[in-house]
Amino acid sequence: MKIVLCCAGGFSTTMLMDSMKKTVKDSAKLNEADFEFKAIPVDLLNAEVENTDVLVVGPQIAHKIDYIKPIIDPYKIPYVIVDKETYGKMDGATVMKMALIARKKADMNK
């Protein structure tokens, strides 16, 4: 599963991505080999949209969802917008759970 984290610049999102990777690594249920993570600025989304399974949107670019949706909708990519509190805590476990639920819901609606 390819999870793309999208933000304004990339630094803090890389920290969140590392927290998500650690969640997968420490999990008894999830397998590291099943996941690929990428943190990108929103401006590069067009280049990364193919083969993305879930898009994680940082709170600092939530206002850009009208820019993001036309890019991801043709690919039927589910997305989650991380709230400021979860993002501030760099809570990779919660974000990972949100991403997996979004993917599962999208698969059920196929």
Query: Active-site positions?
Result: 7
**All residues at 6 or more sequence positions from 91 whose CB lies less than 8 Å from its CB, including other chains:** 19
Specify whether the CB–CB gap between 83 and 31 falls below 8 A: no
CA separation for the pair 99, 76 (Å, rounded): 14
CA separation for the pair 7, 62 (Å, rounded): 9
